[in-house]
Structure 1
Amino acid sequence: MEKQSGSNIYIRPLTGEDSEPLLDLENRNKDFFERFSMSRSDEFYTLDYQQHRIKEFQQRQKNDTGYDFGIFTKEGKLIGTISLFHVMRGSLQSAFIGYFLDKEQNGKGFTTEAVKLIVEFAFHEVNLHRIEAGVMPHNAGSIRVLEKAGFHIEGMALKNVKINGQWEDHQVLALINPNDE
């Protein structure tokens, strides 16, 4: 289920062999990632937890409730993660998207490429109708990534997600499967 872009990266589901590189990625980017996500316990930054996390990713995929991928360079180095989560079926056929990229790799277009790859997967292989993203308004880089990948701004969700003990507003962006319009 590997997806490759025309240039510098590919995405694929994480396996047990990725637990050490995933732990390294999380440890090196701890302060950076936690600026945009909820606080994580000390246990999160252990190899055991990352192995458990990958098993949860695999179970979510089996259950069709989430699809979690690593973002890899052409050379095979793990530089980030990207996920479709809260997959909803029935009359919704939707999911949320989330991603993290190594701070050293920002500004190179890798996240935009990864978003385009997971969108292609979502619309063509998982048959979703809609993908939604929530981004803190001050995270202009992430909003730009989503807009470059075709997402449009729908509005503001006030005090939507608790991050580092504070309820944060989130800009809501979405993309509709063009085959469903």
Structure 2
Amino acid sequence: MYLTVVSSDDLCHLYDFEYRNKDWFERFVPPREPGYFFFDDFKEHVGEHLAEQKRMKLLMFVVYRDNEIIARVNITNIQQGVAEIDYRVCQRVAGQGLATQAVKSVLDLCRDKYGINRVNAITTDNNVASQSVLLKNDFEFSHRDKDAYVLNGQSVDFVFFQKALGTV
């Protein structure tokens, strides 16, 4: 199992990861745009993100096991040492601590290699597993937006967290 920065070489594996786990992800997070799951649109979308990655506006990481992506972690909105984090783990490996481990590894890279000193995160109140990943990585609760989104017919709160990464 290994973590790597996303490149164009990962495109097919990344598409497979997103497509295979679409229903699983949509239990906990707002759905992707419908066009996201047409390969040509997906390729264009990821290509735009790869260009942003070259400009250090975002970073995309994936975790591979047996030539298959099983998790991804994105660092977005990088500005003046502050960024946001989001992550996904395929259903097959959920609950095994993989997200906690991947987030920790990416946070260490953010601090040590990319000069990021604070990371913010948003999850929903119904995504207890995501909140657990953040708390295990020493994120602190920041605030809550009540009834911020309707997900699968239910009103959910957005829950905000933050973490200071310190210095090397």
TM-score > 0.5 by shorter chain: yes
Deviations 1:55-94 (A, max 9, x none): 2222111222110111212x332112110001112xxx21
- 1:154 alignment counterpart: 142
Return the match for 1:129 from 104, 113, 117. Answer: 117
TM-score by length of 1: 0.82
What's the counterpart of residue 96 of structure 2? Answer: 108
Give runs of aligned pairs for residues 1-181 of structure 1, distance below 5 A. Answer: 9-73=1-65, 75-89=66-80, 93-160=81-148, 168-179=156-167
Taking structure 2 as the reference length, what is the TM-score of the superposition? 0.87
Cα distance in structure 2, aligned partners of 1:62 and 1:55: 11
In structure 2, stretches of 5+ residues that fail to align are: none
Cα RMSD, aligned residues only: 2.2
- Deviation of 1:46 after TM superposition, in Å, equals 2.1
What percentage of residue pairs aligned between the two structures are identical? Answer: 24
Local SS of the residue matching 2:167: helix
Structure 1 unaligned segments of length 5 or more: list them.
1-8
* SS of the residue 1:25 aligns to: helix
Deviates more, 1:38-47 or 1:109-118: 38-47
Q: Which amino acid aligns with 1:147?
A: L
What amino acid maps onto 1:112 in structure 2? Answer: T
Q: How many residues align?
A: 168
